[in-house]
Amino acid sequence: MAEVFKGEAMSVQGFKKQVAIKRVLPHLAQNKNFISMFLDEARLGARLSHANIVTVFDIGAADNTFFIVMEFIDGCNLKAVIEEHRQQGRRIPVKEAVYIAIEACKGLSFAHEVQDDDGVDLHIVHRDISPPNILISKRGEVKVTDFGLAKATTQLEKTDPGVVKGKFSYLSPEAALGEPVDMKTDVYATGIVLWEMLAGRRLYLGETDYQTVKLVQQSNIPSLSRINPEVDAELERVIGKALEKDTTKRFQNARDFGDALAHYLFSRQLKVTSFDVANLVKWVIDSKKATKSGQKPEQSIIDRLIQEELLRFTSLDDVEKAVTIGQDSGDKDGAAPLDAGLFENPADWFADDNDVQNAVETRARDQNHGPRWAETGVEEPSDLSDILEDKSEPPPPRASMPDKPPVTSAPEVAPRVSSPPAAPAAPVATAEPAKLKTSAEDARDRPAEAPKSNAMLYVAIAIVVIAGAGAAAYFGGFLG
CA–CA separation, 480 and 474 (whole Å): 10
Q: How many CA atoms does the CB half-sphere of 49 hold within 13 Å?
A: 5
Residue 87 CB-density burial (10 A; 0-12 exposed, 13-18 middle, 19+ buried): exposed
Nearest one of 163, 159, 164, 170 to 134, comparing CA atoms: 170
CA–CA separation, 463 and 398 (whole Å): 12
Q: What does each C-alpha distance from 226 to 193, 264, 282, 301 come to in angstroms?
A: 18, 19, 29, 28
Nearest one of 63, 69, 54 to 22, comparing CA atoms: 69
Residue 138 CB-density burial (10 A; 0-12 exposed, 13-18 middle, 19+ buried): middle
Residue 205 one-letter amino acid = L
> Of these residues, 118, 121, 128, 386, which one is catalytic?
128
Neighbours of 139 (CB within 10 A): 14
* Residue pair 259/238 in contact by the 8 Å Cβ criterion: no
CA–CA separation, 297 and 100 (whole Å): 24
Q: Which residues contact 473 (CB under 8 A, 6 or more apart)?
A: 415, 416, 417
Residue 278 CB-density burial (10 A; 0-12 exposed, 13-18 middle, 19+ buried): middle
* Residue pair 150/125 in contact by the 8 Å Cβ criterion: yes
Residue 226 CB-density burial (10 A; 0-12 exposed, 13-18 middle, 19+ buried): exposed
* Residue pair 253/109 in contact by the 8 Å Cβ criterion: yes
Q: Which residues is 20 bridged to in the sheet?
A: 6, 70
* Residue pair 462/443 in contact by the 8 Å Cβ criterion: no
Active site residue 318: no
Question: What SS3 state is found at 433?
Answer: coil
Q: What does each C-alpha distance from 174 to 178, 189, 202, 247, 248 come to in angstroms?
A: 6, 12, 20, 9, 12
DSSP string covering 271-294, please?
A: ---HHHHHHHHHHHHHHHHHHHTT
* Residue pair 385/346 in contact by the 8 Å Cβ criterion: yes
**Active site members:** 128
